[in-house]
Structure 1
């Protein structure tokens, strides 16, 4: 395999970036803007800004008014459909067909994927919340897993940097455990949300409600502002929200330094024992199955948490028989995601004379209020959860939560002035890093390109289950205390992967004996290979993680360029 001459100049670059999603797009932008000839690989089809075939379709423009027939879901999307709304007619092209991209489960894991340039940056929920030292110091403070090798002060300038570019609408609140960012003006809360916010602030000293912090432009930037269509998951022709294809990749292309190669499956990274560095990437053409090698001075592995882990596991050599950098057996372990799907809503009285137009892409956020300090400490669980919410007329509160919003009815509820107002919220909780929550390669099954299939073995443990008990109590209690009527409560078990915030498996750390990556996201033993997507995470927090991936990527690129200039890589 891969017998193509590795010294072919046409296959040689300064940098190779594997994956073009949230973090890969950032790597491509930063590296090219600093003068590096860069190859961007993606295993899926080419997508450019504007290639959004359903962006302007109404329900009556689509077969079955947007619904995908059950027999098609059963045949093509049995696992992708585990997350509601993924495989409707207007969005199914952003998700893989499961029979073509199989994986295996010892315990249920919902691996939600889209193979195309831009990846899940086209369909992400866009909620952006910084971490604080409450998160970065949690492991060492509690004696859980290993310590993060960085603190908030290390990443703060990079949060500032990426937020200024991305465009995050939000409100500054001065919370130490949810740091403020470089915000655009917040999107106004509606009357139900304002009433709930004010009542919570009157009743509780330990919790508050703020505007959702989202990567939707509340005012024009270098892209068009949000049009309040709430069709984000289809792709936005206005560029009203951040994605790789609307922002980072076009900026990288403008440098003249970027080559994009779609339909390119990164098989593994090549290790050169003579230099102690990686020399390139083995690639299989997804369409022709041709094998080839691309050479580079530095390599960024950004194929998403599980894709990056699979590539490192495949990157075996005499020096790394268990996968690149995996001299300690850590690779693939400590798999995390957020647990959720406990929610509640209630009617808000006295607002029958109010209505509004437009479909905002975000509603409210209640930051974590458990285990913040001594007064908020819980005896039966550690860490905490945040609550995303929103208000609307009828049952349309879910419209303001990207993870729950789909379908014709949810898009039209808030446009109708009739019916009662409701406010609702859903909790997202932290999962601790456990060694036996893992992903590994099946020794007996391969995909159509001959790559071993991933097999998942992960689940929630006592800390998550105890946290969920508190969610069950607090959500309806807060709704009732805020004066809401006819409260409806939904308690539904979520499974790892379903939050689509999978992380861990190639964690950062201070000690090469217990981690894969150092504080700069370099593989300890292979310093010219960087991993800056969710695989690098040492713990999970309860906040949506993508803005942290972006900040870590920009920071790692700055370090890589500095080391290249010093001729250390």
Structure 2
């Protein structure tokens, strides 16, 4: 029986009255936690750990299916619109003109490695000095510290995976086989796309499945020229409209994208998908959601007799006190590294090496996309054309290497490019007064940029562990990360440079400038793989429904679950996997299997 008065056995009858229930935000010190009935009042139907993209979706889906849900996040609460303090500020209103101060660089030495951490959104990020971790090799763990997590900060590129991705491990022998295929996710992709709001174009490419799209942002004259050049001069290379979780048409409660290029501050229009603007409001609408910020999950509680998880232990990050909460099912969505750390710290007689870790795969196979390739060049001509706004979508060149007949000899898998065409202002050095104003009003020649993301293979020794010789501010073992890119990634990265340069030359671009430095793991913010899905409990952590093989009432649908990394941005796949897993979990509850 749920401490909030909702019994799992009554869910089907309760669905119609869900809207009559009340939501709650619990803050540290609330009287809920000072009573003699803590166990009852701290019991819910489901607990969701983490409120980022996948955690927000889990909360929404479970609430809409009639469950009383507790959503836990280590960060402070952020309410849509109200808590976006810089959303409408002008550049000159920032004390440091959007540059980082020395103090910010010192308190955020990891976060400041990433381009997205700036004066206008620094309040969303974790303080690195207060949250240390061990880097055996450089690893850029970029983290939010707010309810909503990195859903407030993500790049919003949304591309479905195809069976090229889901079958790659099986075909080339790297990693283990995915327990699902595209057909298992296709309807769930459609389901989440309709709610999320993806703008894009139906391109009819078998290796880049079409989805449920709003009209795309139009491409400009420079991009149109590059699209024509690439598709006419290279077989099986395509340049398509970028697909992004930015609305080109308003939907309920959310407005159309204004093309301001200020998404990273939080969007007061709700025009891009975030937990705060989208899934939490939907969950609140049911009356079934309880949000508790400042709640750092320390471990998942396991009952040896029942052979199930019974709840979680949290540390209140403000009071430093521990608290326990209980539920029938748990969704672990703390993000790839944090989820692995929680599992590894959840030890018991049954699981001395971490919850559900009989396979010794928890923490292993850490992956991230590699990036850093940047090819810039000048496009002569088209001076009569310009563009307006700062639209969030780019031209997109999906993978063409190791697909069709374009085979590489020194690496497997592939990569994609984003391509942009812009007209920066004319150089105005040495000018003042009217001459300076006149020069700044004249756009310079078209500039074309290729940037790429490539796939990382799953390596068992790219892993997350706990360093028990070092502790964090709460006395817990520090997370330790040991992850490097290997020969396959380095060879692929070099090929990304060569192929982009080739396309620039064939398109007749001038003044080609090449930057080929490869990023450190983590810097693409697409970490995946530490609790992978698979057919066999001996070699994987989760089954085909994101359910732990060894602890059946725990589900993991964040990046941890990924069995390979693909070259494609992963977030829309996390959403689809989460919605599918929630549907399965609730059906299993109704059948009394959990």
Superposition TM-score, scaled by structure 1 size: 0.94
What is aligned with 1:61? 93
Distance 1:74 1:533 in 2: 29
What is aligned with 1:529? 554
Tell me by how many angstroms 1:331 deviates: 0.8
What is aligned with 2:5? none
Q: Does 1:94 align with 2:119?
A: no
Q: Does 1:352 align with 2:383?
A: yes
After TM superposition, the structure 1 stretch with the greater mean CA deviation from structure 2, 415-424 or 335-344, is 415-424
Q: Does 1:566 align with 2:591?
A: yes
What is aligned with 1:542? 567
Tell me by how many angstroms 1:73 deviates: 3.5
* Mapped contact 1:6–1:295 kept (Cα < 8 A): no
What is aligned with 2:168? 138
Distance 1:298 1:560 in 2: 8
Q: Does 1:302 align with 2:333?
A: yes
Distance 1:510 1:5 in 2: 45
What is aligned with 2:16? none
Alignment of 1:153-302 (within 5 A): 153-222=183-252, 223-302=254-333
Tell me by how many angstroms 1:357 deviates: 1.6
CA, structure 1 residues 416+119, in 2 after alignment: closer, same or farther (shift >3 Å)?
farther
Distance 2:441 2:566 in 1: 37
Distance 1:41 1:543 in 2: 29
Structure 1 residues 470-518: Cα deviation after superposition (integer angstroms, max 9, x where no partner): 1121111101111111111111121100100000011000000000111
What is aligned with 1:445? 470
SS of the aligned residue for 2:47 comes to strand
* Mapped contact 1:131–1:179 kept (Cα < 8 A): yes
Distance 1:548 1:416 in 2: 43
Q: Does 1:80 align with 2:105?
A: no
Distance 1:94 1:211 in 2: 30
Distance 1:395 1:188 in 2: 22
What is aligned with 1:412? none
After TM superposition, the structure 1 stretch with the greater mean CA deviation from structure 2, 271-280 or 526-535, is 271-280
SS of the aligned residue for 1:281 comes to strand
SS of the aligned residue for 1:527 comes to coil
Distance 1:516 1:537 in 2: 11
Tell me by how many angstroms 1:436 deviates: 0.9
* Mapped contact 1:354–1:417 kept (Cα < 8 A): no
Alignment of 1:12-31 (within 5 A): 12-31=43-62
Q: Does 1:518 align with 2:543?
A: yes
* Mapped contact 1:22–1:243 kept (Cα < 8 A): yes
Alignment of 1:388-407 (within 5 A): 388-394=418-424
CA, structure 1 residues 208+416, in 2 after alignment: closer, same or farther (shift >3 Å)?
farther
- Root-mean-square deviation (CA, aligned residues, Å) is 1.6
What is aligned with 1:45? 76
Q: Does 1:105 align with 2:135?
A: yes
Distance 2:37 2:235 in 1: 63
SS of the aligned residue for 2:553 comes to strand
SS of the aligned residue for 1:14 comes to strand
SS of the aligned residue for 1:361 comes to coil
CA, structure 1 residues 7+278, in 2 after alignment: closer, same or farther (shift >3 Å)?
farther
SS of the aligned residue for 2:579 comes to helix
Distance 1:454 1:214 in 2: 33
* Mapped contact 1:6–1:294 kept (Cα < 8 A): no
SS of the aligned residue for 1:66 comes to coil
SS of the aligned residue for 1:214 comes to coil
Q: Determine which of 326, 336, 342 is the counterpart of 2:357.
A: 326
CA, structure 1 residues 174+100, in 2 after alignment: closer, same or farther (shift >3 Å)?
same
Structure 1 residues 112-162: Cα deviation after superposition (integer angstroms, max 9, x where no partner): 001110000000000011101110010011111110000000011110100
Q: Which runs of 5+ in 2 are unaligned?
A: 1-32, 427-439
* Mapped contact 1:356–1:417 kept (Cα < 8 A): no
Once superposed, which parts of structure 1, at least 4 consecutive aligned residues long, lie more than 2 Å away?
A: 4-7
CA, structure 1 residues 124+417, in 2 after alignment: closer, same or farther (shift >3 Å)?
farther
What is aligned with 2:158? 128
Distance 1:461 1:357 in 2: 42
Alignment of 1:497-512 (within 5 A): 497-512=522-537
What is aligned with 2:502? 477
The higher radius of gyration belongs to: 2
Distance 1:181 1:270 in 2: 39
Distance 1:551 1:122 in 2: 19
* Mapped contact 1:355–1:417 kept (Cα < 8 A): no
* Mapped contact 1:44–1:262 kept (Cα < 8 A): yes
Distance 1:433 1:233 in 2: 30
Distance 1:416 1:318 in 2: 71
Structure 1 residues 375-418: Cα deviation after superposition (integer angstroms, max 9, x where no partner): 1222111000000121110289xxxxxxxxxxxxxxxxxx9651
* Mapped contact 2:494–2:516 kept (Cα < 8 A): no
Structure 1 residues 432-483: Cα deviation after superposition (integer angstroms, max 9, x where no partner): 0001111110011111112211111110111111111211211111011111
Distance 1:475 1:60 in 2: 37
* Mapped contact 1:393–1:417 kept (Cα < 8 A): no
CA, structure 1 residues 417+237, in 2 after alignment: closer, same or farther (shift >3 Å)?
farther
Structure 1 residues 324-354: Cα deviation after superposition (integer angstroms, max 9, x where no partner): 0001211111000000111102112211111
Distance 2:86 2:547 in 1: 40
Q: Which runs of 5+ in 1 are unaligned?
A: 397-414
Tell me by how many angstroms 1:74 deviates: 3.4
Q: Determine which of 123, 145, 151 is the counterpart of 2:181.
A: 151
Distance 1:175 1:121 in 2: 28
What is aligned with 1:419? 444
